[in-house]
Amino acid sequence: MSKEKLDKALNRTLESGQKVFIPYIMAGDGGLDSLKEQILFLQEAGVTAIEIGVPFSDPVADGPTIQEAGKRSLQHGTSLRIVLDYLKDLKPVVRIPLIVMTYLNPVFKYGIENFCTNALQSGISGVIIPDLPLEQSELIRDHLQENEIALIQLATLTSSEERMKKIAKASEGFLYAVTVNGITGERSTVDTGEGLEHYMKRIKKHSNTPVLAGFGISTPEQVRKIGAACDGVIIGSKIISLWKEGKRNEIKELIQATQQ
């Protein structure tokens, strides 16, 4: 049911001729009530789904903006359990699919089986675990499958053809195409030209799911250009900064760039 909710939401957006927009937010940054406020705002603004980050002490793939948001959240005492419990209470008001992005360690601490059952009860449709390599994913895959939660895979610019094929075939919900080499965060120089088109073509060839691009996207212009080469975009750092600065209209402008 929950995985299906994500598949359906993605299809609905794409069939209507729009591109998918998935914002990433850090759970517990500004306290949990801020999480509720952000989810409801983004849902109202028309995003297809939301990626909810769980703060972690060693976030190896995160750039400065997300690291800082994670630190603030940890100061509020946020944990994976607290986030799932909170989302469970929020279920009646959340219509769009939610994806949890967490590192492997908090999942181990939680207990893999318990995590999967509780995630389902909290209405989670998919998970992203960036430090879980495809080769080790059977650790959790069956438990997620039992609970109908999608395990979303990341492909990177440096993935070989062979590896990209494996990752693309294994990904559920959508395939996360990382558009830069390095960590998350805004960049003025995300490739929006031929290089990107070529990369997306390579990925799309192998993928059975929508392909969404993420890492370093921060302007409506980039959203339009990158969105044109794939099925949509994921934006984290810029959303976190704009929310913190109270610039909600600029968040809406980013989202609207996928709707035209």
Ligand X SMILES: O=P(O)(O)OC[C@@H](O)[C@@H](O)c1c[nH]c2ccccc12
Task: Quote the strand ranges of 85-167, DSSP E.
Answer: 98-101, 124-128, 150-151, 153-155
Binding mask 130-159 for ligand X (x = CB under 6 A): x-----------------------x-----
Q: Do 242 and 42 meet the contact criterion of CB atoms below 8 Å apart?
A: no
CA–CA distance, 169 with 162 (Å, rounded to integer): 11
Residues 114-133 that bind ligand X (CB under 6 A): 130
Among candidates 39, 7, 9, which has minimal Cα distance to 251?
Answer: 39
Sole window of 110-118, 134-142, 145-153, 231-239 interacting with ligand X (rule: CB under 6 A): 231-239
**3-state percent helix, strand, coil for the chain, nearest multiple of 5:** 50, 15, 35
Minimum distance between the CB of residue 66 and ligand X, rounded to whole angstroms? 5
Q: How far apart are CB 236 and ligand X at their closest, in Å?
A: 2
Q: Is 68 a catalytic residue?
A: no
| Total of chain residues touching ligand X, rule CB under 6 A | 20
Least distance (Å) between residue 166 CB and ligand X: 18
Catalytic residue list contains 62: yes
Task: Compute the distance between CA of residue 179 and CA of residue 227 in angstroms, rounded to an integer.
Answer: 12
Q: Which residues bind ligand X (CB under 6 A)?
A: 24, 51, 53, 61-62, 66, 101, 130, 154, 184-185, 214-217, 234-238
